[in-house]
């Protein structure tokens, strides 16, 4: 049973939340290779928690492309926040109409047409009145088509006409209607591969990606893990009416080594689950280890030893000696945990004194 938050504690949390929002607002610039990235409208990116230089570069691109009326394709793995990017594009555009989202996954051609274009009275059995489609609801705004890679070839032809001519045909009607919407689409699939397989039209592929934004996965933005964990801990603690637990260095080392096939959304559910189960002041890594183990056991994610490659170790043509391999393994473990010997030892499956002994031995001439 969830208890009602204590008013004083709730007020304190709101204050802390406001302070953090102020910090995020200050992230108006980022130095990348000594070139400063400046954001003209950082307030439109406040819902995207990041301090990653690649993301800031994307934000800068969004500020430019949002001013055009051309379609935008957002690509990226599941859970990276493609819908948040679509919302930012719409907000930046200054369009007066609404942002209307529709998930194209699982829609056959009939449902797709009826949903987007609407129908006339009597268009089919059960159509007892005129129905406006989502294009009409999004007039003067943005139509966001999520999972566009799942569209049937017939639906793709209709979408292409909408993009090229700005026209559509409602079910049961003979007169074409003009559309006044900007199209933003997203997918976690490789449209080039689908095109090669004959499952996605070449002309639509080129037309839909007039502007293309690719969102990097969380495993390529590991510096974001700490601030994301902190943000999700705040939300989970407030929702569950619990005190915000502290995190260990071991936990952050574990999360940074994990591949996160579900990306930010997966991290969020991990945090909520862990906070709901924890009882002490410090968040135990055990809950996270169990979830990661289950993910790997079911074949959802590769191993966490090295998320950059499928195999744990890559060998050159000349094999290292046992001594050299041990030295390299220890050096890599220490690098991943910022020199913390206790965590590195647990990663390697040995005790901290044993690791210390090996370090001393390898330093001798």
> Structure tokens of 42?
């950082």
- Sign (positive or negative) of CA dihedral 162, 119, 134, 132: positive
> Residue 177: beta bridge partners?
168
Whether the CB-CB separation of 93 and 142 falls below 8 Å is answered with: yes
Both structure tokens of 191: 């449209």
Averaged pLDDT score across all residues of the chain: 82
d(CA 127, CA 335): 64
Mean pLDDT across the stretch 304-322?
54
Residue in this structure with the two tokens 């302070």, named with its chain if needed: 19
**Please, how many CA atoms are within 13 Å of residue 123, restricted to the half-sphere of its CB?**
20
Residue 37 in this model has a pLDDT that exceeds 90: no
Give pLDDT, residue 217: 95
177 CB-near residues (< 8 Å, 6+ apart): 117, 167, 168, 169, 170
Q: 315-340, pLDDT tens digit by residue?
A: 555 677 887 788 888 888 777 777 77
**pLDDT-derived band at 16, boundaries 50, 70, 90:** low
Report the pLDDT averaged over residues 175-179.
85
What is the C-alpha to C-alpha distance for residues 152 and 175, in angstroms, rounded to an integer? 24
Question: Would you state the structure tokens that stand for residue 117, as one six-digit string?
Answer: 């274009």
Give percent above pLDDT 70 in the chain: 82
Q: Is residue 30 scored above 70 in pLDDT?
A: no
Q: From 214, 213, 209, select the one nearest 71 (Cα to Cα).
A: 209
Calculate ∠ Cα 355-356-361, nearest 5°. 95
Give 109's contacts (C-beta < 8 A, 6+ positions apart).
152, 154, 155, 158
Question: How far apart, in Å, are the Cα atoms of 294 and each of 194, 250, 303?
Answer: 30, 19, 11
Above 80 in pLDDT, residue 308?
no
How far is the C-alpha of 101 from the C-alpha of 188, rounded, in Å? 16
Position 55 pLDDT exceeds 70: yes
In the chain, alpha helices (H): 7-25, 53-65, 82-93, 109-117, 134-137, 153-165, 191-196, 202-208, 224-240, 249-257, 263-277, 286-297, 322-336, 341-348, 352-363
Phi, psi dihedral angles at 280 (to 5 degrees): -100, -165
Cβ neighbours of residue 285 closer than 8 Å, sequence gap 6 or more: 248, 250, 251, 254
More confidently predicted of 22 and 161: 161
Count of C-beta atoms within a 10 Å radius of residue 219: 19
User: Over 80: is that where the pLDDT of 45 sits?
Assistant: yes
Question: What is the chain's length?
Answer: 365
User: SS3 of 214, please?
Assistant: strand
Residue ranges and CATH numbers for the domains of the chain are 1-67 (no CATH), 69-216 (3.40.50.300), 220-363 (1.10.8.60)
pTM reported for the whole predicted model: 0.74
Three-state SS sequence of 60-92: HHHHHHCCCCCCEEEECCCCCCHHHHHHHHHHH
Please answer whether residues 330 and 359 qualify as being in contact, where contact means their C-beta atoms are separated by less than 8 angstroms. yes
Backbone angles phi, psi at 104, to 5 degrees: -80, -15
Question: Which residues are bridge partners to 233 per DSSP?
Answer: none
Q: Residue 38 pairs with which residues in a beta bridge?
A: 29
């Amino acid at each position: 049973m969830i208890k009602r938050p204590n008013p004083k504690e709730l007020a304190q949390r709101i204050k802390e939340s406001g302070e953090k929002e102020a910090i995020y607002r200050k992230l108006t610039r980022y130095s990348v290779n000594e070139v400063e990235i400046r954001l003209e409208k950082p307030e439109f990116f406040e819902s995207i928690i990041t301090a990653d230089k690649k993301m800031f570069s994307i934000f800068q691109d969004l500020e430019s492309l949002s001013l055009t009326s051309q379609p935008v394709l957002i690509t990226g793995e599941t859970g990276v926040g493609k819908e948040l990017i679509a919302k930012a594009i719409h907000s930046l555009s200054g369009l007066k109409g609404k942002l209307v989202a529709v998930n194209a996954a699982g829609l056959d051609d009939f449902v797709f047409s009826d949903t987007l274009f609407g129908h006339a009275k009597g268009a089919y059995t059960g159509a007892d009145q005129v129905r406006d489609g989502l294009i009409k609801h999004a007039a003067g705004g943005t139509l966001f088509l999520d999972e566009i890679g799942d569209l049937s070839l017939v639906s793709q032809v209709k979408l292409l006409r909408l993009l090229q001519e700005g026209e559509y045909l409602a079910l049961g009607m003979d007169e074409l209607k003009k559309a006044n919407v900007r199209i933003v689409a997203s997918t976690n699939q490789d449209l080039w591969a689908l095109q090669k397989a004959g499952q996605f039209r070449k002309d639509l592929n080129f037309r839909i990606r007039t502007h293309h934004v690719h969102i990097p996965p969380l495993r390529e933005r590991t510096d974001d893990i700490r601030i994301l964990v902190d943000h999700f801990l705040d939300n989970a603690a407030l929702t569950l009416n619990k005190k915000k637990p502290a995190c260990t260095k071991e936990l952050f080392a574990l999360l940074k080594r994990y591949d996160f096939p579900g990306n930010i959304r997966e991290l969020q559910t991990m945090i909520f689950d862990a906070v709901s189960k924890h009882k002490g002041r410090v968040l135990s890594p055990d809950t996270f280890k169990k979830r990661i183990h289950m993910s790997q056991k079911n074949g959802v994610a590769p191993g966490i030893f090295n998320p950059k490659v499928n195999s744990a170790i890559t060998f050159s043509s000349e094999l290292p000696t046992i001594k050299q391999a041990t030295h390299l393994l220890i050096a890599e473990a220490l690098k991943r945990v910022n020199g913390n010997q206790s965590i590195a030892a647990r990663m390697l499956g040995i005790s901290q004194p044993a690791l210390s002994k090996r370090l001393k031995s390898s330093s001798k001439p």
